[in-house]
């Protein structure tokens, strides 16, 4: 804080020149040749001196008024510096934090892993080209065979020359009976597609579209409120009996849900070692499945909105 004390000379008015006893402002007042004021300078201690006599200079009230803006400005600067220094230890207010603000955006996967998040999926570093081949089986038989016999071997050789491994996923080679028994065929296909997308460093999906739409598999689980709505709209006693036989309600699920039962639980011969019995059970399942499919599609189109009903008419390829 700047402090100035003034002493009035004998015979001087309050507006006359005063003597600066404790000056703390290191400033110089330039001499105007058109005025009668004396030229002054500043001593090493900060005291203003008369350049002629060497005594403390006499400063007029006008000179003191001119220095007040300088005092006000310096007070403001000092206050600002003190505030910066006072908050220097607080994040977000110091000079360093103002110049380099802290980012509060989404953390990268690397940051999450360093922090101990073990659920983060790290990108694969394997050099693999993994392709999922999708199409209807019967009407694209020759195209699939051409890929397997001609195209894929050549692609495999090119990948090996570049240090890559080439893999092909073709569900035509079959799905395990266990997966078919639990109605997991469509889910397995979707999992394989996701795996190809994650592992492949190049193309990951090839599809052939022909004349057939593809196999339509109705959902293997339906919420209780939706299923009850469909059952109420099903026409035909046989379809109604089949749906109540194959779908069982689970009140422990949240929300309560009807689950499609494993095929072998209704048709035990479906997984029998005897091929004839197994073939007969599979034929029976496909016939009953077709009846339930038609009944559910019709009821869904009548009672459900378009988006929800679409789940009952979507093929595996369209998933």
Quickly count: other Cβ atoms within 10 Å of residue 42's Cβ. Answer: 16
Domain boundary among 22, 57, 86: 86
- Is 119 among the domain residues? no
Cα 47 to Cα 232: distance, rounded to the nearest angstrom: 105
Q: What angle do CA 152, 154, 160 make, to 5 degrees?
A: 100
Is residue 261 located within the same domain as residue 298? Answer: yes
The residue written with tokens 């593809």 in the block is 214
The residue written with tokens 């022909």 in the block is 210
- Is 302 among the domain residues? yes
Number of residues assigned to the chain: 319
The residue written with tokens 């005092």 in the block is 71
Is residue 237 located within the same domain as residue 302? Answer: yes
- Both tokens of 235, joined, read 């026409």
Which residue range forms the structural domain that includes residue 80?
6-86
- Is 91 among the domain residues? no
- Is 94 among the domain residues? no
Is residue 249 located within the same domain as residue 200? Answer: no
Domain boundary among 52, 86, 120: 86
Is residue 181 located within the same domain as residue 235? Answer: no
Number of domains in the chain: 3
Q: Reduced to 3 states, what is the DSSP secondary structure of residue 199? A: helix
- Is 92 among the domain residues? no
Give Cα separations from 190 to 147, 170, 186 (angstroms).
Answer: 21, 13, 6
Per-residue pLDDT for the chain (319 aa), expressed as one digit of tens each? 444 444 555 555 544 444 444 444 444 444 445 544 444 444 444 455 554 455 555 555 555 545 555 556 666 666 666 555 544 444 444 444 444 445 556 677 778 888 888 887 776 678 999 999 888 877 888 888 888 899 999 999 999 999 999 999 987 666 667 778 888 888 888 899 999 999 998 899 988 888 877 777 778 999 999 999 999 999 899 999 999 999 999 999 999 999 999 999 999 999 999 999 999 999 999 999 999 999 999 999 999 999 998 888 776 555 5
Find out whether 141 and 105 touch, Cβ atoms under 8 Å.
no
Using a cut of 0.85, tell me whether the model's pTM lies above it: no
Q: Sign of dihedral through CA atoms 11, 16, 17, 19? A: positive
Q: Which long-range contacts (CB under 8 A, 24 or more apart) does 147-154 make?
A: 147/206
């Amino acid at each position: 804080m700047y402090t100035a004390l003034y002493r009035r000379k004998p015979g001087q008015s309050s507006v006359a020149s005063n003597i600066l006893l404790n000056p703390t402002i290191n400033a110089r007042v330039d001499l105007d040749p058109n005025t009668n004021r004396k030229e002054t300078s500043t001593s090493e201690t900060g005291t203003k001196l008369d350049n002629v006599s060497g005594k403390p200079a006499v400063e007029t009230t006008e000179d003191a008024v001119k220095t007040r803006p300088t005092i006000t400005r310096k007070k403001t600067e000092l206050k600002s510096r003190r505030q910066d220094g006072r908050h220097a230890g607080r994040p977000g207010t110091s000079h360093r934090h103002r110049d380099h603000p802290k980012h509060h955006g989404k953390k990268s996967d690397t940051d999450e892993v360093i922090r101990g998040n073990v659920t983060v999926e790290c990108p694969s570093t394997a050099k693999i080209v993994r392709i999922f081949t999708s199409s209807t089986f019967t009407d694209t038989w020759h195209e699939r065979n051409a890929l397997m016999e001609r195209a894929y071997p050549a692609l495999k050789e090119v990948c090996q020359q570049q240090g890559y491994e080439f893999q092909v996923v073709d569900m035509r080679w079959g799905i395990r009976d266990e997966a078919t028994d639990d109605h997991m065929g469509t889910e397995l296909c979707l999992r394989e597609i996701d795996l190809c997308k994650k592992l492949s460093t190049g193309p990951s999906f090839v599809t052939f579209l022909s004349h057939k739409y593809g196999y339509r598999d109705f959902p293997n689980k339906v919420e209780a409120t939706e299923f009850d709505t469909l059952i109420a709209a099903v026409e035909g006693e046989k379809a109604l009996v089949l749906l109540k036989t194959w779908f069982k309600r689970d009140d422990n699920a949240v929300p309560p849900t009807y689950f499609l039962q494993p095929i072998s639980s209704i048709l035990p011969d479906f997984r029998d070692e005897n091929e004839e019995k197994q073939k007969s059970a599979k034929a029976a399942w496909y016939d009953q499945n077709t009846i339930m499919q038609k009944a559910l599609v019709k009821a869904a189109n009548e009672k459900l909105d378009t988006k929800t009903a679409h789940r009952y008419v979507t093929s595996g390829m369209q998933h």
